Every structure is written in C-alpha cells, then in structure tokens.
Structure 1
C-alpha cells in the first residue's frame, strides 16, 4: 500500500461556491501512480467547506450561494459570536452544514467522479484568506 500526504494551499477566493478540481489536481502529480485507492481531502478551516456537485453550469454555483445565504442569514439577533463581522457566525454554521472533508475513490490514476461532478470550495466569508487542504492518497 502507498500513502501520500500533502498540504495544499488554495488561493483566496470571494464568498461563493468555487470549482477547484483542477487546482487540487495540479498539486497531485502522484495521483497517476495509484491504480486503486481513495483520496481524503480535509479543509483546515471553520468558515469554509467542501462538497462535490455540478461542474458544468456555473449557474448551479450561483444558486448554491443564493440558497445558502437565505438558509443561514446574517445579522440575526440570536447570534452572540459576532466579533469578526456579521458573516462570521453564519460562515461557521454553513461550514458545519456542508462539511470539511471529502473521500473520493481513485481508479487508474484519476479521481472517480460521476458525470458532471467536481470539487467545490464553499467560501462562506466575504474576505477570507488562502485556504489549506490536507490531502491523503491511499492505495495501490
């Protein structure tokens, strides 16, 4: 069994749902060495998240943002964690709703996705910095 671990830093992005599949793959030339296995991606932040969804039509990412911002609005009077701005507590809630890790199968040196699937970075802050993703590849 082979194991590769690395820390990938993603460039800062504005609030929104960003397709990052190619950005992740650019950092993983070792992926080609795996016949079969799994990739574990862990986002090391509490105000952003990861998910897999539609990779072809950008309107899907727009609709995700519109829905998520409506589901978890800012400036609610019951938020007490407000020191870092009005989007901070909602960003933490959104991060927990979508999650901070993904497990993706590997086959013949590639991630296994369904048709039209890609990896999203869900950025829930207005002015976030770079985001770090710890990636573990395991397999043969």
Structure 2
C-alpha cells in the first residue's frame, strides 16, 4: 500500500467556478504510481471550496455562480462579519454549503472520473489569491 501527501498551490482566479482537474493532476505526479486507490483533495481556505461537476459546457459554471450569488447575496443587512469586504461573509457561507474536500477514486494511475466530470475550484472572493490544496493519495502500486 502506498501513501503520498503533497501540498499544491493553484494560480489565482477571479470569482467563479473553475476547472482545475488538469492543474491538480500535473502537480501530483505520484498519482501515476497508483493502480487502484483513492485521492483525497482538501482546500486550506474558508472562502473557497471544491466540487465535482460538468467539465464540458461552460454555461454550467456560469449558472452555478449565478445561483450561489442569488442564494447568498452580498451586503445582506444581517451579516456582521464584513471587515474584509462585502464578498467575505457570502464566501464563507458558500464554502460551507459546497464543502472543503473531495474523495475521488484512482484507477490505472489516473483519477477515475465520469466522462463529463471535472474537479472545480469554487472561488467565492473577488480576489481570493492563490489557493492551497492538500492532496493525499493511497492505494495499490502500479506494476
């Protein structure tokens, strides 16, 4: 049984839902050493989240952003945590709703995703900056 853990940094992105599957797999070359196993991906931030969803049609990413902005609007009069700007508290709420981690299967040295699935960074701040992820891999070694 193999175990690897690596902290990676994603390039800064504007607010929105961004496909990061290729960026993550490029930064975790140990993935190719596992025949069958699991990848656990955890984001080290409270104002961004991770999701698995549609990887082909960019309208899905647009619609998700529009929905979450309507669900959790900026400048709500009941928000008290506003020191870092009007996008701060909504970012925390969106991160709680979507989640901070994903566990994905590995098969043949690759993430075993469905045909239309991709890993998303859900950036909830206007200027969130670089985002750090911890990727933990475990599984049976490739022969």
User: How far is 1:30 from its partner?
Assistant: 1.1
Partners of 2:43 and 2:31 in 1: CA distance: 19
Partners of 1:81 and 1:109 in 2: CA distance: 43
- Which residues in structure 2 correspond to 1:47-58 (within 5 Å)? 47-58=47-58
Partners of 1:52 and 1:82 in 2: CA distance: 29
- Which residues in structure 2 correspond to 1:124-135 (within 5 Å)? 124-135=124-135
| Cα offsets for 1:75-124 (capped at 9, x unmatched) | 00100000000010000000000000000000111111112000000000
Q: Which runs of 4+ in 1 moved over 4 A?
A: none
Partners of 1:114 and 1:89 in 2: CA distance: 33
User: How far is 1:70 from its partner?
Assistant: 0.3
Residue of structure 1 equivalent to 2:2: 2
Residue of structure 1 equivalent to 2:139: 139
Residue of structure 2 equivalent to 1:108: 108
TM-score w.r.t. the length of structure 2 is: 0.97
Partners of 2:29 and 2:124 in 1: CA distance: 29
Residue of structure 1 equivalent to 2:79: 79
2:35 corresponds to 1:35:
yes
> Number of residues paired by the alignment?
140
Query: 5+ residue gaps in structure 1?
Result: none
Query: 5+ residue gaps in structure 2?
Result: none
- Measured on the aligned residues, the alpha-carbon RMSD in Å equals 0.5
